[in-house]
């Protein structure tokens, strides 16, 4: 019975990621916003803190951020079956859409319709990413140290060419230095 329940969960996770992968523009951060609404707010499968932990690990691994996050999320929800379902679900729409776009790219890329469409798409993606950041900040910025690390990360991102991976590693090092290695970050 538990196996059937896990397969149902895997199917639901697969369909969620297919839908999100097909209809969400803006990459990993906008998909993360949809995950926050679906799995934190609606289904309550995760807390904001848990989603941020998954996102932090997924972001720091090599490869496509949202694929990493989907695999970690799926695995956490139901082991390898759900992790695989999430990875396939998030990847299939991109593979299909890119295959179709590639066929017509040379004919469409310079049309005024495409240029106008992408202006609108880019403008719509910014608030989606911003709303996810605002919703998840409560889980990440709980104290002065969190705000200082975030501020330093923003400044490094805006004013240097340092890779975001190194910014994340530096944030982890500062967090460990400030809080030590105790349980849940407590000294």
Mean of the per-residue pLDDT values for the chain?
A: 85
My answer on whether 44 and 65 are in the same domain is yes
My answer on whether 56 and 94 are in the same domain is yes
Block residue for tokens 């996050």: 69
DSSP 62: S
Q: What distances in angstroms separate CA 125 from CA 27, 31, 122, 128, 131, one per listed residue?
A: 9, 10, 5, 5, 10
My answer on whether 129 and 169 are in the same domain is no
What are the pLDDT digits (tens) for 63-106? 888 899 999 999 999 999 999 999 999 999 989 988 887 888 77
Q: The tokens of 107 are what?
A: 């004919």
pTM (2 decimals)?
0.60
Average pLDDT over residues 173-184: 74
My answer on whether 150 and 176 are in the same domain is yes
> Which pLDDT score is estimated for 25?
67
What are the pLDDT digits (tens) for 123-178? 888 887 787 778 777 777 888 888 889 899 989 989 999 988 888 889 889 988 88
62: containing domain: 2-138
> Which pLDDT score is estimated for 122?
82
């Amino acid at each position: 019975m538990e196996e059937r329940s896990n397969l149902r969960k895997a199917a639901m996770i697969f369909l969620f990621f297919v839908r999100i992968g097909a209809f969400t523009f803006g990459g990993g951060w906008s998909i993360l916003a949809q995950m926050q609404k679906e799995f934190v707010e609606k289904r309550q499968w995760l807390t904001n803190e848990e989603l941020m932990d998954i996102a932090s690990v997924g972001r720091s691994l090599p490869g496509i951020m949202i694929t990493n996050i989907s695999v970690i999320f799926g695995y956490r929800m139901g082991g390898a079956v759900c992790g695989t379902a999430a990875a396939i679900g998030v990847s299939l729409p991109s593979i299909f859409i890119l295959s179709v776009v590639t066929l017509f790219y040379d004919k469409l890329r310079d049309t005024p319709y495409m240029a106008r469409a992408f202006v609108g798409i880019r403008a719509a993606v910014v608030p989606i990413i911003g709303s996810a950041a605002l919703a998840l900040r409560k889980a990440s910025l709980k104290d002065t140290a969190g705000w200082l690390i975030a501020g330093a990360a923003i400044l490094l991102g805006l004013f240097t060419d340092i890779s975001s991976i190194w910014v994340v590693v530096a944030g982890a090092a500062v967090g460990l230095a400030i809080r030590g290695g105790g349980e849940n970050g407590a000294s």
